[in-house]
Structure 1
Amino acid sequence: MNTSLRNPLSCIDQPFRQKLAKLGIRSELDLILHLPLRYEDETKLYSIRGAPESKAVLVEGVIIHCEIITRPRRQLICRIEDATGVLSLRFLHFYPNQVKSYTIGTRLRVFGEVRSSFFGMEMIHPRCRIVHEGASLADALTPVYPTTSGITQRNLTKLIQQVLQSDRGADYLAEILPEAVLAKYRLPGFKESTNFLHHPPSETSLAQLESRTHPAWQRIKFDELLAQQLSLRMHYRQRRNYQAPALHQKGYLTKMLRNALSFALTSAQEKVLVEISRDLSTAHPMQRLLQGDVGSGKTIVAALAALQAIENGYQVAIMAPTEILAEQHYQKFLTWLVPLGVKVAWLSGSQRKKERERELTEIAAGHAMLAVGTHALFQEQVQFHRLGLVIVDEQHRFGVHQRLALRYKGTDTNWIPHQLMMSATPIPRTLSMSYYADLDVSVIDQLPPGRLPAMTKLIDESRRDEVITRVREACHAGKQAYWVCPLIEESEVLQLKTAVETYEQLGRIFPDLKIGLVHGQLKVKDKSAVMTAFSLGEIQLLVATTVIEVGVDVPNASLMVIEHAERMGLSQLHQLRGRIGRGNDEGVCVLLYQKPLSQIARERLRIIFEHNDGFEIARQDLNLRGPGEFLGTRQSGVPLLRFADLQCDMDLLEAARETADYMLNHFPENAQCHLQRWLGDRKDYLRV
């Protein structure tokens, strides 16, 4: 057998290899796993009169007319005829050699969608082939592959078939799953499934193929989910090989803080504290995700977890994605921990050099037992004396490498710190089982007593005057309000109100109110001054961009107006709404929207109007956006699922999860082979 047949990629030039790489094809195995997007049926030939409308079909006829017309635009028109009728072919893009070959009397076999037009039945831009009478038909459905500029379907089909038929193809298609797994879940073989999907017989149901419910597709999706689960579970197990300080619960500092609090913890907070405390007491690094809806009390749980580390003589780092949130944490931890004799340090990118150096010295010497900050915490010059616990708030906003950098700040190379990640964006169960299967998950699933969900009102921009009246009444009654705008600078494309413009307008509308402005481009000290004034009640109406989305806690603020709510995501709207109703009064969130609304915008507004439960909102958000967008930066560098659909394939996910543990326990070599097949060099993608 010649070399090119054994290795089809060996004779391809570099430019073409680069184009293949854009499709994720770098090896022969990648070609095998480059599966069709859809299929076309060229196994049946229809007569022109018998061809169904609005369906892609194969028709054959002899050219009886061909001409180039120039009005209304330049196009090539051909007419073909069979014994039953005439069909027009319209080409908007064509080449001189195409015109030359389409001579009268030439027999064409065309594939496309038949439509009725002013001139009768026609196909627009059909796929054409010159044939002789009685030419044989395809014996299988025609695969249509994902492609890119410069690579034709014919190129891809030829390469894939060469690999499948090569002497190395048998190695790539070898069965890896144990017989017991195949039998338990009634899965067809990998070779059989792969060959089938690249070359499905003519009698195969197109509906089953396109919905990916055919057993061959089920096998491929199962394998893909299994690779993901194996990788995650392996990393979960590998953590048991790492050492971390065993931070046993001593209780004296945590008891002092509990006694000083003006409120009692909810049973949900107590439950997750038990889980976190148990993990901290072990000599293996905790890697736990703490989920809780807006206002459920994650921060006090983090403070009590931090004190368990501090009681054992270890430092704690708390990282937040924005300065506003980080500073809010800093102020809270100062209030809670300084009376207990715990020194708290503050690090941010905007600090003066002298102040920053002083804080760095306190952290390095171990005098500051708790350090709060933004991404400044994981910069090279930050050295901890004895870091035992890392707490990352709004963890999905940080990239993998940023969180790793902070985790390896522990000075002792023999162990790594425990890690607690917090998120107010609830993660639907399907994502928790798949992309977060390497983490232990704790959930605070109840709000503190007396905390009422905010009332949500949808109001058209045309009723803006009613909203202005409501804001005036609330502020005159001694309450405070937010007015949230999505952009800072004017955009002619989006035509959104800007924070600065709105601030000036509202200043003219409410000359009797004290109005503040905060946005991401303000200097940190100015931003901090405005937020402090709002917290103290010196500002009645705060005009802001979405920098106030997380962490801002002003109990007297009971009204929020969100401009152009139709432009914002569900998670963002829910987070913003969670900033109000934190006092004794029910919060009211007014979503101002502008028509016309797109279908997805209408759906988002419906969901946020009907639901206050963050987990239900997250579930519906996942359905709307899909996992790629929902996950954000958490999975930086992680390949998303190509074939499986978490909404439709929950049963396969459950089976893959169970099989991953079974294979790691009983067939570890098969597990490694499976990872190599599906992830290759990416199998170590999840280290945090």
Structure 2
Amino acid sequence: MPASNTTSAPKTIESKLARLGLRTDMDLVLHLPMRYEDETKIVPIREACMRGGQTWQVEGLVVKNEITYKPRRQLLVSIQDDTGELLLRFMNFYGSQVKQLSEGVRMRARGELKHGFFGAEMVHPTYKVVNEGAPLPTSLTPVYPAGEGLSQTILRRAIADAMRRIDWSDTVPEAVRARMRLMDFAPAVKLLHYPPKDVDEHALVERSHPAWERMKFDELLAQQLSLKRAQQARREKGAPHLRAVGALSEAFLQALPFRLTNAQQRVVKEIRADLREGYPMQRLLQGDVGSGKTVVSALAAAQAIDSGYQAALMAPTEILAEQHFRKIAAWMEPLGVKVAWLTGSLKKKEKTAAYELIESGEAQLVIGTHALIQDTVQFAKLGLVIVDEQHRFGVGQRLTLRNKGSDGLVPHQLMMSATPIPRTLAMTYYADLEVSVIDELPPGRSPIVTRAIDQNRRDEVIDRVHAAALEGRQVYWVCPLIEESEALQLQTATETYETLAAALPDLQVGLVHGRLKPAEKQMVMDAFAAGEVHVLVATTVIEVGVDVPNASLMVIEHAERFGLSQLHQLRGRVGRGSAASVCLLLYQSPLGQVAKQRLMTMRETTDGFEIARRDLEIRGPGEFLGARQSGQAMLRFADLETDQWLVERARDVAQHLLQHETPDNMAVVDAHLARWLGGREEFLKV
């Protein structure tokens, strides 16, 4: 590896650095401190002991060094200066440390000073052996994110070496820096690695210092440039021209028993315009629970079929895929459309029959789960891919379906999400997508009243369920998602089912969970939809896609264990008819701070966008986006809540640079992406 681009560290250290993603000199230089330690001053031991409860650096001679075994093995080192004596306690230590800290050695120790049973002490301080009169650092000491086997000393040395080798040229044009009053790159980076002792430490820690602003802007600009370039590259690929809005589309609209809302009509118009283009549509369709995304996606499929192409709809769970299949097939099949159904649970003979329908082109619309992306599935002429709850699929899965086009053409892609994405997040992580929003619910939807109730009042809730059922209403009773144990979740659902069946002998109680065979699950769901089951006990398999207008009461047990978006999705299963609807959140006391925030939000609003905004505040973008499986590169430095103004400016600068493709601008774009993303630009492109 060339020295200019990589660390010259020994192989073992190099591999440990690589595990942290630090492969090049620039990676190391942009590996910025997470905090700082002030080693620029020494406090007399007596003064530190009098103040206590804070972090101090002291210096003194070792006057005592012993290993004790009560109550456990530990190393006790006493140091002394002209003002007093201090005990240093090490619970974990090596033999070499005992030797290093022998009596008569001069050392500096830094740590939180506490008053213990034996007086003032520091437990596990950082320390170094020094000579008398050794100079103090002139800048704060950086503390870096580290991995196994990488000490701060190794990281500091590797970063210092890399800083001597890199090209410090600024990749942001001078005019932009002047307009935005940004620090130059080199002084900003150097200040963050070696802040002078008179620096505004609060601004440094809070990441509001101008040096941090420069780093955040650069990071956001790299992300925006990468996503916008990905969008440009996609537009250079060929896609089927789905120009026809013909007999099927018209008949479909005529056959619907309701009129599309204004928001649905607007979104249909946007999608139709995209499908007529010769480059692949990449559109995200957002809409709150129950806003009518399914009918919009079916109209997009109708346009593909009218244009002589196939359409495919993929959903993350079998129960959701089946809901789509039943609803869309009921609309489409009377109009002469052949709709195929494909999931992993089908028998071999049924799968083979589905494969043949798809490959021959006889199946114009295919609906299913991950089974659609298997190698055995070959489409005759795929023109449109619809992915529901797109954040539940990994990057590879979404790409595989998109790659099933024919004649070298890339199918158009429509992604749907019932989890509204806050504006800042959409601008940042979906900058390469067109976004359509259905911001209006169909008429006739009843408002949902939400109440939080302590688990101790469970009997009252059961009485309320009984009264609702006697009035002819139906009830969902949702059991908690316990991530650690599917078996425990199943047990909870089974026990709740048995308890309710015993407490409500005059009612029909049903049970549905993830381990039921698809046919059994569907039998229970059909009985509930038909009104034969009064109370449906369920795990979160009913989170999306279930539509029973007569169900107007939902009980969510251990609501404190659910995330906000999931609580909102579950609540959206009621309020689909004209009856007044209620959602009861049963919780176990005492509640943690985050759980309190969630339940308060659910009581205060039913607006999916407001819930999404608060969810982003609580969880952060990584969790919100399901980033671990989506492959999206999370921001390291910028904070979407506090740095929204920087997101907007980075977006504007990226658009300007890419829209004015002068040689100078393209050189700037290439240099900036190389600095911040290296070879990892692909990471952002799906």
Contact 1:488 1:498 in 2 (8 A): no
Provide the rounded CA distance (Å) in 2 between the counterparts of 1:376 and 1:609: 39
May I ask how many residue pairs the two structures share in their alignment?
680
Cα RMSD (Å): 2.2
Contact 2:631 2:684 in 1 (8 A): no
Do structure 1's residue 576 and structure 2's residue 570 form an aligned pair? yes
The alpha-carbon deviation at position 685 of structure 1 amounts to 2.3
Q: Deviations over 1:102-142 (max 9, x none)?
A: 34443222111222334333222212222233221111110
Provide the rounded CA distance (Å) in 2 between the counterparts of 1:155 and 1:269: 58
Q: Deviations over 1:470-489 (max 9, x none)?
A: 11111122111111112599
**Equivalent residue for 2:544, pick from 544, 550, 575:** 550
Q: Deviations over 1:301-329 (max 9, x none)?
A: 11112112222112111111111111111
Worse overlay, 284-293 or 81-90: 81-90
Give the match for residue 653 of structure 1.
Answer: 647
Distance change in 2, residues 1:685/1:365 (3 Å):
same
The alpha-carbon deviation at position 636 of structure 1 amounts to 2.5
Give the match for residue 610 of structure 2.
Answer: 616
Worse overlay, 357-366 or 265-274: 357-366
Do structure 1's residue 605 and structure 2's residue 599 form an aligned pair? yes
Q: Deviations over 1:646-681 (max 9, x none)?
A: 111111111111111222234112212211221122
Contact 2:477 2:538 in 1 (8 A): yes
Give the match for residue 266 of structure 2.
Answer: 271
Contact 1:396 1:632 in 2 (8 A): yes
Do structure 1's residue 74 and structure 2's residue 69 form an aligned pair? no
Give the match for residue 188 of structure 1.
Answer: 183
Contact 2:7 2:162 in 1 (8 A): no
Instruction: Give the secondary structure class of the aligned counterpart of 2:45.
Output: coil
Instruction: Give the secondary structure class of the aligned counterpart of 2:115.
Output: strand
Instruction: Give the secondary structure class of the aligned counterpart of 1:188.
Output: coil
Contact 1:398 1:633 in 2 (8 A): no
Do structure 1's residue 133 and structure 2's residue 132 form an aligned pair? yes
Matched ranges for 1:212-611 at <5 A: 212-413=207-408, 415-486=409-480, 498-611=492-605
Give the match for residue 684 of structure 1.
Answer: 682
Instruction: Give the secondary structure class of the aligned counterpart of 1:24.
Output: coil
Contact 2:482 2:489 in 1 (8 A): no
Do structure 1's residue 203 and structure 2's residue 192 form an aligned pair? no
Provide the rounded CA distance (Å) in 1 between the counterparts of 2:517 and 2:490: 23
Instruction: Give the secondary structure class of the aligned counterpart of 2:657.
Output: helix
Instruction: Give the secondary structure class of the aligned counterpart of 1:419.
Output: strand
Give the match for residue 98 of structure 1.
Answer: 97
Provide the rounded CA distance (Å) in 1 between the counterparts of 2:3 and 2:42: 33
Matched ranges for 1:40-51 at <5 A: 40-51=37-48
- Percent sequence identity is 58
Provide the rounded CA distance (Å) in 2 between the counterparts of 1:248 and 1:35: 51
Do structure 1's residue 36 and structure 2's residue 30 form an aligned pair? no
Provide the rounded CA distance (Å) in 2 between the counterparts of 1:333 and 1:489: 33
The alpha-carbon deviation at position 4 of structure 1 amounts to 11
Instruction: Give the secondary structure class of the aligned counterpart of 1:45.
Output: coil
Instruction: Give the secondary structure class of the aligned counterpart of 1:61.
Output: strand
The alpha-carbon deviation at position 240 of structure 1 amounts to 1.6
Give the match for residue 27 of structure 1.
Answer: 24
Contact 2:62 2:79 in 1 (8 A): yes
Q: State the AA in 2 paired with 1:40.
A: E
The alpha-carbon deviation at position 150 of structure 1 amounts to 1.4
The alpha-carbon deviation at position 292 of structure 1 amounts to 0.3
Contact 1:488 1:519 in 2 (8 A): no
Provide the rounded CA distance (Å) in 2 between the counterparts of 1:183 and 1:334: 59
Provide the rounded CA distance (Å) in 1 between the counterparts of 2:438 and 2:285: 8
Contact 1:533 1:539 in 2 (8 A): yes
Provide the rounded CA distance (Å) in 1 between the counterparts of 2:88 and 2:16: 32
Worse overlay, 256-265 or 225-234: 256-265
Q: Deviations over 1:222-277 (max 9, x none)?
A: 11111111110001111221121222253433332222222221111111111111
Worse overlay, 509-518 or 496-505: 496-505
Provide the rounded CA distance (Å) in 2 between the counterparts of 1:142 and 1:22: 24
The alpha-carbon deviation at position 424 of structure 1 amounts to 0.2
Provide the rounded CA distance (Å) in 1 between the counterparts of 2:373 and 2:489: 38
Q: State the AA in 2 paired with 1:279.
A: D
Provide the rounded CA distance (Å) in 2 between the counterparts of 1:59 and 1:426: 53
Distance change in 2, residues 1:11/1:101 (3 Å):
closer
Worse overlay, 435-444 or 93-102: 93-102
Provide the rounded CA distance (Å) in 2 between the counterparts of 1:496 and 1:602: 26
Q: Deviations over 1:411-439 (max 9, x none)?
A: 221x2111111000111111101111110
Q: State the AA in 2 paired with 1:421.
A: M
Worse overlay, 222-231 or 627-636: 627-636
Q: State the AA in 1 paired with 2:338.
A: K
Contact 2:489 2:539 in 1 (8 A): no
The alpha-carbon deviation at position 354 of structure 1 amounts to 2.5
Give the match for residue 64 of structure 2.
Answer: 65
Q: State the AA in 2 paired with 1:473.
A: A
Provide the rounded CA distance (Å) in 2 between the counterparts of 1:677 and 1:72: 53
The alpha-carbon deviation at position 7 of structure 1 amounts to 7.7
Instruction: Give the secondary structure class of the aligned counterpart of 1:50.
Output: helix
Q: Deviations over 1:498-523 (max 9, x none)?
A: 11222222222222211211111111
Q: State the AA in 2 paired with 1:685.
A: F
Provide the rounded CA distance (Å) in 1 between the counterparts of 2:268 and 2:640: 30
Provide the rounded CA distance (Å) in 2 between the counterparts of 1:284 and 1:11: 47
Provide the rounded CA distance (Å) in 2 between the counterparts of 1:365 and 1:103: 83
Give the match for residue 148 of structure 2.
Answer: 149
Provide the rounded CA distance (Å) in 1 between the counterparts of 2:448 and 2:593: 25
Provide the rounded CA distance (Å) in 1 between the counterparts of 2:320 and 2:97: 64
Q: State the AA in 1 paired with 2:667.
A: E
Provide the rounded CA distance (Å) in 2 between the counterparts of 1:308 and 1:571: 32
Instruction: Give the secondary structure class of the aligned counterpart of 1:64.
Output: strand
Instruction: Give the secondary structure class of the aligned counterpart of 1:176.
Output: coil
Give the match for residue 12 of structure 1.
Answer: 10
Instruction: Give the secondary structure class of the aligned counterpart of 2:7.
Output: helix
Q: State the AA in 1 paired with 2:210.
A: P
Worse overlay, 506-515 or 218-227: 506-515
Provide the rounded CA distance (Å) in 1 between the counterparts of 2:238 and 2:37: 56
Distance change in 2, residues 1:225/1:213 (3 Å):
same
The alpha-carbon deviation at position 466 of structure 1 amounts to 0.5
Contact 1:486 1:497 in 2 (8 A): no
Give the match for residue 622 of structure 2.
Answer: 628
Q: State the AA in 1 paired with 2:139.
A: A
Contact 2:243 2:276 in 1 (8 A): yes
* TM-score, with structure 1 as normaliser: 0.95
Instruction: Give the secondary structure class of the aligned counterpart of 2:511.
Output: strand
Distance change in 2, residues 1:81/1:177 (3 Å):
same
Q: Deviations over 1:266-292 (max 9, x none)?
A: 111111111111111211111100000
Instruction: Give the secondary structure class of the aligned counterpart of 1:626.
Output: helix
Q: State the AA in 2 paired with 1:193.
A: A
Instruction: Give the secondary structure class of the aligned counterpart of 1:236.
Output: helix
